[in-house]
Amino acid sequence: MSVETNPQQVPCLLWPFWAIWRLVAFIVGLTGRLLAIILGFVLILVGVVLSVTVIGLIIGIPLILLGALIVIRGLF
């Protein structure tokens, strides 16, 4: 068994450090997801702006698709 999956395996003197570590890991994971969603929306917006011109359409459509994929990855 892993120490991370079973809190009863953590010695009582190390429990506060374990709890702080889990909290920091949760916050970093949540921040990463939020950053991915924001970055995805920015890429979608840049892709839409580039798609207004015919020349930018070649770069704009892949940016929109990439942004949508990043948003989906950030949500799930």
Which residue ranges make up each domain of the chain? 25-75
What percent of the chain is predicted at pLDDT more than 70?
89
Tell me how far apart the alpha carbons of residues 61 and 52 are, in angstroms, rounded to a whole number: 11
pTM (predicted TM-score): 0.69
38-53 pLDDT tens trace: 999 999 999 999 999 8
The arithmetic mean of pLDDT across residues 19-42, rounded, is 89
Other Cβ atoms within 10 Å of 30 Cβ, number? 10
CA 42, distance to chain mean position in Å, is 14
